[in-house]
Amino acid sequence: MKKDLNKFKRYKLTDIEKEEILLGTLIKRPIFANFEILNDFKPEYFYKHLHRKVFKAIMLGYSKYDFSITSIINRLEEYYKIENVQEIIANLCSKAVETISVEYEAEIMREKAIKRALISAGKKIISQKYNNITAQAAIEKAHKLIDKIARLNITDENEEFKDIIYETYEEISDKYENKNILMGYSTGFKDLDENLNGLRTSNLVVIGARPAMGKTSFALNLVLNFVKKTKLPVAYFSFEMNKKEVVKRMSCIEGKIDLQIIKNGNLYAKDWEKLAGALSQLLETNIFIDDTCDGTFTNLQAKCQQLKEKEKDLGLIVIDSLQCMDGLFENNRKQTYSCIISGLKTLAKKLNLVIIVLSSLPCTIEKRSNKRPMLSDIRKYCDNIDRCADVVMFLYREDYYNHKKSGNEKIAEIIVVKNKNGQTGTTELEFNTNTTKFKDADNNLNQKELIITLFDGKEL
């Protein structure tokens, strides 16, 4: 390896000091980390194998928002059996700089790594024992070497698989030791969290419902719960309401204020007090509301990427709604929606966050005796919903059809029909039609609703 190092130095294709500076800065000052760039950065871009392992340990922590040096040291000792880890990390941290362009340094390292791989491949091609193989076999071997570099697959597949095993083991171990801790972000609703196992990064979540069922209100409840629990930024793209209308609804949910009172301006002193408290709470959050998107996926994608560059910790994007978006296929809405869903799933993976998209459901539901939505209903809009969406859930309220029920507290069913990372099933929530606030269902309320239903609205 020393001989190779001298050779690469001659061509200026390695810079150990730069590798140490980058790693030291990522460890000591993670604020400089550009997660989008680093997610595409391969450990094999580092020349030293030790640096590759350190980078893997850093990235594993980043994926969990764990930036502690202690965690990095523990992973290197436990998984890679490296000795004198504390001394190694201390040395790297001493190389950290005050400012660094991760994107620039990463691109330089990538270029050098590819060129090193090309030199090594050329050497292997030249050293082939051509007397023992046919010309066609020699060409095929050379092609495989070059193709491997072209795809930037310049690592040993067995080593990559070993890393996946370690990462999988850590995830399973974490779940075993913390059985009550979700694998994703909490929705703010206990029973729904148990079904979903949380909202996981890189996941696309589709929420469908008939018009006026309360899907926008439900989405806003999820947004508020998310920012309060995670403190992470959230983006809300509204195609139907302007920014002020969205904030009014959020204020009603947060302050438990009647939405109609806000709309008609008939506020009493207690309402003003609630409103002031709600707005104060909203000022503490990091929510970005966009009502200017032109409805095309290209524009939406550009806005999301721009916001992610600005807000590195952006954790959730909500889109209201699918039917308000446009695509390339003007005469084929089904094909348009399918392309958008596919694009949103790719975007969620690329930005490493959760994307929730709201969708209306077709009116054919109204013709059935049981009007609870099914997965086949949303397939009428999107062919690829099974392949692209990680979670599909529907919002259903019996009182939407049965107007004999009285009171503001209604039971809303959240029907999870597809879930790649957890269970399917129905969760019941309370929905206050005045304040548009959702909360975990009260068993006493469920019993009361059942009595009202059985006795045709006449309570005992």
Q: Rounded to an integer, what distance in angstroms lies between the CA atom of residue 67 and that of residue 284?
A: 24
Place of tokens 């007090």: 273
* pLDDT tops 90 at residue 92: yes
* pLDDT tops 70 at residue 389: yes
Residues 6+ apart with CB under 8 A from 415: 372, 373, 393, 394, 395, 396, 425, 426
Averaged pLDDT of the chain: 84
The pLDDT, as a whole number, for residue 62 is 74
* pLDDT tops 60 at residue 390: yes
* pLDDT tops 60 at residue 157: no
The three-state secondary structure class of 345 is: helix
Residue 414: name the closest of 389, 436, 434, 397 by CA.
397
Q: Rounded to an integer, what distance in angstroms lies between the CA atom of residue 432 and that of residue 329?
A: 39
Q: Rounded to an integer, what distance in angstroms lies between the CA atom of residue 110 and that of residue 302?
A: 25
pLDDT band with cut points at 50, 70 and 90 for residue 101: confident
C-beta of residue 359 within 8 angstroms of C-beta of residue 381: yes
Q: Which amino acid is at 15?
A: D
pLDDT band with cut points at 50, 70 and 90 for residue 453: very low
Q: What pLDDT digit, counting tens, does each position of 398-446 carry?
A: 998 887 555 666 899 999 999 998 899 999 999 999 999 999 987 655 5
Q: What is the mean pLDDT of residues 366-387?
A: 90
The pLDDT, as a whole number, for residue 433 is 93
pLDDT band with cut points at 50, 70 and 90 for residue 37: low
Q: What is the mean pLDDT of residues 266-282?
A: 94
All structural domains of the chain, each given as residue ranges with its CATH number in brackets, are: 2-176 (1.10.860.10), 190-454 (3.40.50.300)
* pLDDT tops 50 at residue 235: yes
Q: Which amino acid is at 355?
A: I
* Least confident interval from 15-24, 149-158, 184-193, 276-285: 149-158
Q: Any idea what the Cα angle at residue 166 is, between residues 160 and 171, rounded to 5°? A: 125
Q: How far is CA 351 from CA 60, 106, 149, in A?
A: 16, 18, 25
Instruction: Give the other-Cβ count within 10 Å of 163's Cβ.
Output: 17
The pLDDT, as a whole number, for residue 273 is 95
Q: Rounded to an integer, what distance in angstroms lies between the CA atom of residue 15 and that of residue 19?
A: 7
